[in-house]
Structure 1
Amino acid sequence: MNKAIAPAVTALAALTAAPAAAQGIDETVNQIFANSTGWFVSLIFSNFPGTTFPWIVGWLVVAASVFTIYFGLIQVRAFGHAIALVRGDYSDPNDAGEVSHFQALTTALSGTVGLGNIAGVAVAIGIGGPGATFWMILAGLLGMASKFTECTLGVKYRNEYADGTVSGGPMYYMTKGFAERGLPGGKILAVLFAIFCILGSFGGGNMFQANQAHAQIANVTGAYPGWITGLVMAIVVFLVIVGGLKSIASVTEKIVPFMAAVYVGTALIIIGMNFDMIGTAFSQILTGAFTNDGVVGGAIGALIQGFRRAAFSNEAGIGSAAIAHSAVRTKEPVTEGFVSLLEPFIDTVVICTMTALVIIITGQLIQDPTTGLFLLNEAGDGIQTVTGNSGVTLTSDAFSSAFGWFRYILVLAVVLFAFSTMISWSYYGLKAWTFLFGEGQTKELVFKIIFCMFVVIGASANLGPVIDFSDAMIFAMAVPNIIALYLLMPVVKAEMNRYLSRLKTGEIRKFE
């Protein structure tokens, strides 16, 4: 070989081999990580023996049912007052805290409204049939009581600092609340929760969102390196989160209502265009919820899918929302509990139901006359497998059947929802980080830089096991959190009864 061209050939060979080598390294890392953490993922998402029902979903739904009964259907009794609080009717701008009731609600909503509403619902009714919608709504209604419980405690036991900032959430009501009641183990539960929250914020609240946002953008614009999407998003995320919660809240209070309005508004237009099908759709939902025909697993299958999607969508009982709601400006902890119960209602009862109705009404699911199973209706030919990958496609096809341009709006929705989820989870992870390592600008900046690095990693790499592990961490947060809620719910009840009594006698009045 000519010595002059040998270095060039060698360099070319190295460049050619680099992608394969990099892919091999990725696969090796994935395999090592999967082997070392797979047991934890399997444990968190394992099913009850003899069923396809994840125990973690049962853990969340049972707790929601207990709180609903214990607080006397508080989600119904306090619904109207919650709306008044969000409007600012009882808000005193001089109260301690960083954000308004409305901003706290939108910040928490931005962490839950997203792919679960767009893709998760499609998967639920694709596998569980239209009846899954009924159980999804029920789980959302029950979850309102869980949010009420955890967010009331979050405000009651938060730390308020001289500069006007606050820190709150499960870590604080586990330590301070347990100490106040003389209960052991609060510190251990708090540390476990904080570790789960930090790792969950890096994965499910960050890498997964960036990964899906890049996938949706590339699907429309064509393939290009994921690190470009990741770098752009990381810069924008950093510029928002470096300003603290007030900066985050100012962004989410604009993004969440706008995208929710566009999404729900389009759904309502499609439903209105098919007004004659509404009765049939609700008939399918109610019938499918209690019959054994037409779905995998019958009525039980519909129940499992409905409860599972609702729990994964609104995160009631996870404890994450309590961190955002703790920063509200109020001197009455229970008022934010009232506001927070609107969150599962908006996320699951309204937005998820709109998605389900559009899919059912537009005929994107067809029922096989022989087996009774629901199939995806693609070019007139059904396919029996409804997967997470087909979820976004199913929702996109349903909306695009009425408006061909909606698939582009859906890309925008996915990107904005992913962005808002990332900035909300950056705050959740930050508060867990400062609980473990202490407050301070330098410590906070270190976390924010690490968080933004994971945005780039998530968009550019296929880190399936890492993301699975991080998702498992998010739902692992529910284990110590719900234990704490059970032990502290008498505190919430006392706060609730005291406030409602004063409201009834007129001692609490609208703020002029």
Structure 2
Amino acid sequence: MKKYLLSLFALAYPLFTFAQDNEQSIDQIIDEKFGDATGWFVQAVFYQIPFTDTISVYWVLFPLIIGAIYFTIYFNFINFRGFFTSVNIVRGKYDDLEGRENHKVELEKSSFTDEDDNPDTIRVEGHEGEVSHFQALTAALSATVGLGNIAGVAIAVSIGGAGATFWMIIAGFLGMASKFVECTLGVKYRDIAEDGTVYGGPMYYLTKGLKSKGMGGLGKVLAVLFAIFVIGGSFGGGNMFQVNQAFQLVENITGGEQSFLHGYGWAFGVVMAILVGIVIIGGIKKIAKVTDKIVPFMVAIYVAAALFVIFSKFDMIGSAFAAIWNGAFSPEGIAGGAVGVLIQGFRRAAFSNEAGIGSASIAHSAVKTKYAASEGMVALLEPFIDTVIVCTMTALVLIITGFVDPLNPPANDAQAILLTSSAFESSISWFPYVLTVAVVLFAFSSMISWSYYGFQGWTYLFGRSKKTEYTYKVIFCIFVIIGAAASLGSVIGFSDAMVFAMMVPNMVGLILLAPKVKEELNKYMSAIKARKS
């Protein structure tokens, strides 16, 4: 496989150097033609419902927010009352409930016969999963913690003011309930092959779960739609966009147009593609081993730097929180007023933690467990870490350092990253270099996790042979190079639309299958109570 990858890169090299020499014409032609063909889809997904002359809301936010509120109430505020239980699960406190220690796979075959449930959840061919609770959490976090936390927050507080932070936090707490539901279903209805490889995610719980409720036809249609959307999203938003933004920041920090890297995006892409290829060949186990080291390390570095900036200006902390609270309900000088601030906060939180999109359930479904709800509980920590902690830290740094100007917000993610970098630099002169490394690592971890998401959709549509596996992974690596070398706005816009289109089939399944999740939750909580007694 490695030789196959290297030979493909060698064959592709002349094409990319030619593309670099003719960058403007090729990029513009592809961008224009692709935009003409797919513009209708992008406009449909990101259609904005006008409320007033100054306020328009993306329609995709409504099902995400309403769904999160519904799940919060339906599961009796599991996002709050289950928090410490979730932490204990990650710590391994309840491993003995699995009949094993230290997340070792138990070699027993299932005697489970209830056709209404999925025996894959318990044991199939002596396997329960591939990764630990902690590894599943970091693998999913690696796809969400990244540019959205750095660039997205800067855009939110620049447009919506400090008050947008409050609504981001609220959206993060609500999103915890959505993550709990989709990741519980991901484990409950997963497939486990004879060699122990796990295949899971919305494709499987839409198919199996809705079939158990007599809606098999609807389930298959929704599953196929989701698989198509997740493949498209993996190539674009989870790949090309990530490497493109990472290269732009590296180029900027090394001198911009005067940088020795200027015009060599393809070379940066080749290096990243080789690194990505080496990791994703090993599947979810290799991905998890990388992410469970990168993600905690980079989140710790980022949060530590943010806390340093915040406490270096400790006299302004009180006024920053006052600005967040007052701005959330009575903003002054912000376009759209309080409603506009609320929308910015919810929008950026949804774009950052992807709660309700369904993508994270693919990574979480690979966990070693026989209690589906145990991983749902672990998953609810994801929006808390991603949005409530990391996004809030970024917002506080921007507010305290004074880098919030609603009259002059950043025009795009690249400018937003530089704005955040400047805010940190005002207190830590060398931090832009650390942030550059962080962005590259966040982009790298996002790419390897999204490769797994797209691969799961790919195998659902085209089968599980080695040929289909290598075909997808080679295509994914080639798109890494293209993403670094080109500026294909329409392609990336289309892929972002596909990511949020995933929400439509997924949310239908979550609502219909919520009672199944409640059964799993009751089963797991009963096991915990029995253990304590």
TM-score (norm. length: structure 2): 0.87
Contact 1:123 / 1:390 at 8 angstroms: preserved in 2?
Answer: no
How many Å apart are 1:505 and its aligned residue? Answer: 3.0
1:421-458 deviations in Å (ceiling 9; x for gaps): 00000000001111111112221111100100000010
How many Å apart are 1:21 and its aligned residue? Answer: 5.0
Counterpart amino acid of residue 439 in structure 1: R
How many Å apart are 1:385 and its aligned residue? Answer: 6.0
Distance 1:359 1:214 in 2: 23
Contact 2:183 / 2:361 at 8 angstroms: preserved in 1?
Answer: yes
Q: Which of 182, 185, 190 is residue 223 of structure 2 equivalent to?
A: 190
Question: Hey, what does 2:198 align to over in structure 1?
Answer: 166
Greater C-alpha Rg: 1
Choose 209-218 or 234-243, whichever is displaced more. Answer: 209-218
> What's the secondary structure of 1:53's corresponding residue?
strand
1:67-88 deviations in Å (ceiling 9; x for gaps): 1011010011111111111112
TM alignment of 1:71-82, pairs within 5 A: 71-82=75-86
Give unpaired runs (5+ residues) of structure 1.
1-16, 367-373, 376-382
Counterpart amino acid of residue 469 in structure 1: F
Counterpart amino acid of residue 237 in structure 2: G
Aligned residue pairs: how many?
478
Matched, 1:88 2:92: yes
Question: Hey, what does 2:376 align to over in structure 1?
Answer: 337
TM alignment of 1:313-332, pairs within 5 A: 313-332=352-371
Q: Which of 201, 217, 220 is residue 250 of structure 2 equivalent to?
A: 217
Question: Hey, what does 1:55 align to over in structure 2?
Answer: 59
1:386-437 deviations in Å (ceiling 9; x for gaps): 6534311221111100011001111101100000000000000001111111
Contact 1:218 / 1:224 at 8 angstroms: preserved in 2?
Answer: no
TM-score (norm. length: structure 1): 0.91
Contact 1:127 / 1:386 at 8 angstroms: preserved in 2?
Answer: no
Counterpart amino acid of residue 38 in structure 2: T
Counterpart amino acid of residue 85 in structure 1: I
Cα distance change on mapping 1:458 and 1:18 into 2, 3 Å: closer
Counterpart amino acid of residue 140 in structure 1: G
Contact 2:163 / 2:331 at 8 angstroms: preserved in 1?
Answer: no
Counterpart amino acid of residue 292 in structure 2: E
Choose 44-53 or 116-125, whichever is displaced more. Answer: 44-53
Matched, 1:492 2:493: no
Question: Hey, what does 2:415 align to over in structure 1?
Answer: 390
How many Å apart are 1:224 and its aligned residue? Answer: 3.5
Contact 2:157 / 2:395 at 8 angstroms: preserved in 1?
Answer: yes
Question: Hey, what does 1:408 align to over in structure 2?
Answer: 433
Counterpart amino acid of residue 160 in structure 1: I
Counterpart amino acid of residue 361 in structure 1: I
Question: Hey, what does 2:145 align to over in structure 1?
Answer: 113
Choose 139-148 or 217-226, whichever is displaced more. Answer: 217-226
Choose 452-461 or 24-33, whichever is displaced more. Answer: 24-33
Distance 1:384 1:180 in 2: 49
How many Å apart are 1:19 and its aligned residue? Answer: 6.6
Matched, 1:441 2:466: yes
Contact 2:94 / 2:528 at 8 angstroms: preserved in 1?
Answer: no
1:170-222 deviations in Å (ceiling 9; x for gaps): 00000111111212400000000000000110000001111111111111221
How many Å apart are 1:18 and its aligned residue? Answer: 8.5
> What's the secondary structure of 2:47's corresponding residue?
coil
1:454-510 deviations in Å (ceiling 9; x for gaps): 000100011110110001001100000000001000100111122213322337x9x
Give unpaired runs (5+ residues) of structure 2.
1-17, 107-127
Counterpart amino acid of residue 391 in structure 1: A
* CA-atom RMSD in angstroms: 1.5
1:42-75 deviations in Å (ceiling 9; x for gaps): 1111111334211111221111111101101001
Contact 2:245 / 2:414 at 8 angstroms: preserved in 1?
Answer: no
> What's the secondary structure of 1:416's corresponding residue?
helix
Percentage of identical aligned residues: 59
Counterpart amino acid of residue 200 in structure 1: G
